[in-house]
Structure 1
Amino acid sequence: MDLELTGKTVLITGASQGIGEGLARSFGDEGCDLHLVARSKDRLDAIKAEIVDAHKVDVTVHAMDLAAPGAVDRLMEAVGDIDILVNNAGVIPSGNLWDIDERKWRDGWELKVLGYINLTRAVYPRMKARGGGVIINNIGNGGEVFDPDYVAGTTGNASLMAFTRAMGGHSLNDNIRVVGVNPGPVDTDRIYNMLKKRAKDWLGDEARYKELQERYPLKRPAHLHEITDLIVFLASYRSGYTSGTIFTVDGGIASRRSVI
């Protein structure tokens, strides 16, 4: 299936690892030019070298902390016009209301929740002026499963779901699509770190994390491509009537009303 993405310009935040890195490689496979944002310049440079070696695309790296004052404005000046934005940066810490003090809560929301909002605010008018574009928010199924042991994350993700629906419900008036994706557990370092923390808290031994993994659908987290392939498809013209909605990819976990 030709997604007709060749030559499109994609901005991906949080692109140095996990889903962001997978998206960089997937959009590169489709012939897209890339702007990759993360704090780790060394890691971004390594990813860039591999993509450029494999494909005839332009890749520009932007090593920065998007939560820093003025960072979004500096990024917009450096990037210029883009066709697709994937908001992906930020990890909100897990823990209950007393584990996550105000400083940790604010820090987690600064990059992910406010980061997605601020970058959308900056990119949207530029896309509108050019005639359209796509904004995809990688959120997380914690926004659908209200977990007291992930209270800052479930609250933040639910906020981003509401933001995505609010923006995407009317954005096609400007030929812009705003869509959200809610991954559940994904085969990245982050999920195993979370499982080890839960195993320590619940079972008294982080080494028993595989016992918790057994509870997942198919007894595994999602393969990375099961998330990135969907996001790439949603960014393409073949999903041109999709806006203001959230796609959950968690093997049915949200329907069980349980994170694990």
Structure 2
Amino acid sequence: MDMRLAGQRVLVTGASQGIGEGLSRSFAREGCHLSLVARSAEKLHALAEELRSSHNVEVDVLALDMTRPGAIADIVAWAGHADILVNNAGAIPGGTLWDVDEDAWRKGWELKVFGYINLTRSMYLEMKTRGRGVILNNIGNGGQNFDFNYIAGTTGNAALMAFTCALGGRSLDDGIRVVGVNPGPVATERIAKVLKSHAAHLLGDEARCAELLARYPLGRPATVEEVADLFVYLASPRSNYTTGTIVTVDGGITSKRSVS
């Protein structure tokens, strides 16, 4: 299916690994030109060279720490012309209220929660001037499944869900769509580390992480491509009536809850 995205410019944050890398690949396959942001210049340049060669698209990269003062303004000055923004940078630490101290909590929210909000604030105005644009927020199903052991993340994700819906409820007035995606567990290096940590804590041996995988739908996490391709559809004109909502892709984990 042609997503009618060829030639559009996509700005992806946290683009050098994991879901961000998968997003870059999926949009490149559609013929999109890319503006990729992450901390690692080495990873960004390697990915950019591969995508230029494989898909004949323009790929610009900007290596920076999005939490430093002035970083958001630098990104907008560099790629404010993008048609599509995908907020993806950041990972909030796991742990209980007493495991995650104030400093760690603030650092996690500075990149993911306030990073999303601040970049959206600036990019929205650029898009409003043109009368069109799409903003996609990669959030996470922890915002729907309140978790004592992931309290900073579950609270931050819930806040981003509310932010997305509140902004997207009015954004079509300005020709802009704002949509959130809530992935569940996804097969990345990060989830592998989390599973090993959980296995060590719950089962006494990190090597038993495969036993935790068996509890997931289909006995596995989602693939990066399964998640990234959903973003491509939501960014496309084929999804022009979708805004102010959250799409959950977690194999039914969120819907599986029961009172019995």
TM-score in same-fold range (> 0.5): yes
Q: Any gaps of 5 or more consecutive residues in structure 1?
A: none
Aligned partner letter, 1:116: Y
2:227 is the alignment partner of 1:238: no
Q: 1-side partners of 2:145 and 2:168: how far apart?
A: 22
The amino acid that maps onto 1:5 is L
Query: After superposition, what is the alpha-carbon deviation per residue over 1:75-109, rounded to whole angstroms, capped at 9, x for unaligned?
Result: 11112311000000000011111110011100000
Match of 2:96 in 1: 96
Q: Structure 1 stretch 73-82 or stretch 108-117: which is displaced more?
A: 73-82
Q: Which moved more, 1:4-13 or 1:204-213?
A: 204-213
Query: In structure 2, what is the Cα distance between the partners aligned to 1:214 and 1:20?
Result: 26
Partner of 1:41: 41
1:225 aligned partner: 225
Q: Which amino acid aligns with 2:10?
A: V
Does residue 178 (structure 1) correspond to residue 178 (structure 2)? The answer is: yes
**Structure 2 stretches lacking a partner, 5+ long:** none
User: Quick one: which amino acid aligns to residue 19 of structure 2?
Assistant: I
Shift of 1:223: 1.2
Change (3 A) 1:257 1:156: farther
- Local SS of the residue matching 1:86: strand
Deviation at 1:2, TM superposition (A): 1.2
Query: What is the CA–CA distance in structure 1 between the aligned matches of 2:227 and 2:115, rounded to whole Å?
Result: 21
Shift of 1:55: 1.7
Q: Tell me which moved more, 80-89 or 201-210.
A: 201-210
Deviations 1:14-53 (A, max 9, x none): 0000110011011111111100000000000000000000
Q: Quote how far apart the aligned CAs of 1:256 are.
A: 2.7
What secondary structure is seen at the aligned counterpart in 2 of 1:15?
coil
TM value normalised by structure 1: 0.97
**Is the 1:184–1:222 Cα contact (8 Å) retained in structure 2?**
yes
CA RMSD of aligned residues (A): 1.0
> What CA distance in whole angstroms lies between the structure 1 residues aligned with 2:257 and 2:156?
18
Whole-angstrom CA distance in 2 between matches of 1:100 and 1:80: 35
Assess if the C-alpha contact under 8 Å between 1:145 and 1:257 holds in 2. Answer: no
Q: Distance in 2 between matches of 1:80 and 1:95?
A: 36
TM-score (structure 2 length as normaliser): 0.97
Indicate the residue corresponding to 2:85 in structure 1.
85
| Cα separation, 2, equivalents of 1:125 and 1:61 | 22
